[in-house]
Amino acid sequence: MNQNSGTRSARPARRRPSRSQAGARIPAQKTAPGRRSAPRRDEPMAPAGTPGLPPAASFAELDMPASLLEALGREGVTAPFPIQAATLPDSLGGRDVLGRGQTGSGKTLAFGLALLARTAGHRAEPRSPLALVLVPTRELAQQVTDALTPYAKAVRLRTATVVGGLSIGRQAAALRNGAEVVVATPGRLRDLVERGDCRLDQVRTTVLDEADQMADMGFLPQVTALLDQVRPDGQRMLFSATLDRDVDRLVRRFLSDPVVHSVDPPAGAVTTMEHHILRVSTDDKNAVATRIAARDGRVIMFVHTKRAVDRLVKRLLASGVRAGALHGGKSQNQRNRTLEQFKDGQATVLVATNVAARGIHVDNLDLVVNVDPPADHKDYLHRGGRTARAGESGSVVTLVTPEQRREVDRMVAAAGVSPRVTPVRSTGEELVRITGAKEPSGVPVVLAAPPAERPQRAQRPRGGSSGRSGATGRGGASRGRRGRPARGRRAPGAASSASS
């Protein structure tokens, strides 16, 4: 294997320690003067001062432990996706990386393999993780954990998943027992830090995944406070589908001389994705949505509000369509169960608010329907990113009533897509041709309701706020690998799984 770190890193502190240092605690190092000072906000984002290395043609030529390469083979991952090939030579050598790639492009393994390779051979002390992945949603945190689990096990690294929604006590116990890699949402990690259950001063590799959504959700103050606590001489990697002003501020403040990699097509749309605007009358919209939902194959439908989700699911079940609801009003256990029902085919339709627009991976999903058009172009791209993943084909259909036309036209133009516009009726052939719509059976169906979560008493905090509950895992202890996405190209005959 080629050793790639010797010529491109200007800072020796960034070089990966020898693998012979198993069990060693990584010593703290002094901050280089001025390393994290932010330039003036009116300056454009500076490109990398040092060019990145050429893309890797294969995983075998990268400086990764043999056990990681063997794990890739066992998982059927034979060749890197473009974002992986572009970023891994630099990230394995310790460079800060700014990666821009469409949803489903393989970003998780792009940062995950580098993070695991650079952490391998080290042992975390209690409450002191060595690597941190920050994500905006619970679902994305679980997806990242599921994706990294087999590779973390291969290099004997323990993981913990830190999100709101379940037991904070179990989470704290996982951190006390020691976890080298923590995958977290910002709010729950902040709670655990304030309780004294987690320290970040030993974190040497930090990843921000879906940074643009964290900005959109108002998490930047929490993210900034957490990043201020990790080792200032450590490595940072930031991955985002879009790079807007708020993300630019994070880059300026926390990334040092980053290598910038973008593998997006010029427009915002994935080239294997078709975009359709279906013009419907207000009175016919519900019937159109119901007939689309009754099609053969799975579909995700997005609406604006939790109440709208519950109403649509109730109507679909009454019509004979097996539908499940996913929104922020459900407990984490209920949301996990609904996703499992959708992935294993018990439910053929998932009706969701934007809570599912990121971090939800389902194989062989070829249709996303915006029953309610999204509020802005970024929401449109993130919703559509649930289909046409990793080169697969898919369609995004948006139902538009007459009063919504002007606003939707502006939104899709900002998204960089040119949809096909078709007037349709619920009983028309055009709807069938575009979506595969069919008449539902009319026989009401009932799905086993996901159990409501039993309330749990949180342990009293030892030195801060208790926060809300969350889920944990140790040693790759994510629950269930059904639908776990692979993060690279698979060998012929291997089970197909898209990347995110």
- Tens of pLDDT, residues 113-123: 999 999 999 99
| Euclidean distance between CA atoms 269 and 265, whole angstroms | 7
Residue 244: DSSP 8-state: -
227 and 151 share one domain: yes
Q: What are the two backbone dihedrals, phi and then psi, of residue 238, each rounded to the nearest 5 degrees? A: -125, 125
- Hey, CA dihedral for 102, 108, 111, 114, is it positive or negative? negative
Amino acid at position 184, single letter: A
Q: DSSP per residue over 51-72, as a string?
A: PPPPPPS-GGGS---HHHHHHH
254 and 295 share one domain: no
Instruction: Identify the bridge partners of residue 274 per DSSP, sorted by sequence position.
Output: 395
137 and 176 share one domain: yes
Q: Is residue 345 classed exposed, middle or buried when 0-12, 13-18 and 19+ CB atoms within 10 A define those classes?
A: exposed
235 and 277 share one domain: no
Compute the half-sphere exposure of residue 41: CA atoms within 13 Å on the CB side of its CA: 5
Residue 125: DSSP 8-state: B
247 and 311 share one domain: no
198, part of any domain: yes
Q: Is residue 398 classed exposed, middle or buried when 0-12, 13-18 and 19+ CB atoms within 10 A define those classes?
A: buried
234, part of any domain: yes
289 and 317 share one domain: yes
216, part of any domain: yes
**Contacts of 156 by beta carbon, 8 Å cutoff, 6+ apart:** 120
Q: Identify the segments of the chain with pLDDT beneath 50.
A: 1-48, 265-270, 455-487, 489-500
Quick one: CA torsion of 190, 191, 192, 194, rounded to 10 degrees? 80
pLDDT for residue 335: 85
Domain coverage including residue 331 = 273-426
**Contacts of 437 by beta carbon, 8 Å cutoff, 6+ apart:** 288, 291, 292, 294, 295, 426, 431
pLDDT for residue 307: 94
Do 367 and 395 meet the contact criterion of CB atoms below 8 Å apart? Answer: yes
255 and 306 share one domain: no
User: The CATH number of the domain where 147 resides is what?
Assistant: 3.40.50.300
Q: What percentage of the chain has pLDDT greater than the value 90?
A: 54
Q: Is residue 42 classed exposed, middle or buried when 0-12, 13-18 and 19+ CB atoms within 10 A define those classes?
A: exposed
pLDDT for residue 334: 87
Residues in the chain: 500
291 and 251 share one domain: no
Q: Which is it for strands 489-490 and 77-79: parallel, antiparallel or unpaired?
A: antiparallel
295 and 378 share one domain: yes
Mean per-residue pLDDT over the chain, rounded = 80
**Secondary structure (H, E, C), 429-487:** HHHHHHHCCCCCCCCCCCCCCCCCCCCCCCCCCCCCCCCCCCCCCCCCCCCCCCCCCCC
pLDDT for residue 378: 81
Q: Which H/E stretch holds residue 208?
A: strand 205-209
Do 368 and 357 meet the contact criterion of CB atoms below 8 Å apart? Answer: no
| Euclidean distance between CA atoms 274 and 392, whole angstroms | 11
139, part of any domain: yes
420, part of any domain: yes
When divided into structural domains, the chain yields a total of 2
* Residues 182-240 pLDDT 10s: 999 999 999 999 999 999 999 999 999 988 888 888 899 999 999 999 999 999 999 88
439, part of any domain: no
277 and 258 share one domain: no
61, part of any domain: no
5, part of any domain: no
Q: What percentage of the chain has pLDDT greater than the value 70?
A: 74
247 and 125 share one domain: yes
Give SS3 for 389. Answer: helix
Do 470 and 163 meet the contact criterion of CB atoms below 8 Å apart? Answer: yes
Q: DSSP per residue over 162-206, as a string?
A: E-SSS-HHHHHHHHHH--SEEEE-HHHHHHHHHHTS---TT--EE
247 and 112 share one domain: yes
Instruction: Identify the bridge partners of residue 209 per DSSP, sorted by sequence position.
Output: 239
pLDDT for residue 459: 46
| Euclidean distance between CA atoms 76 and 499, whole angstroms | 13
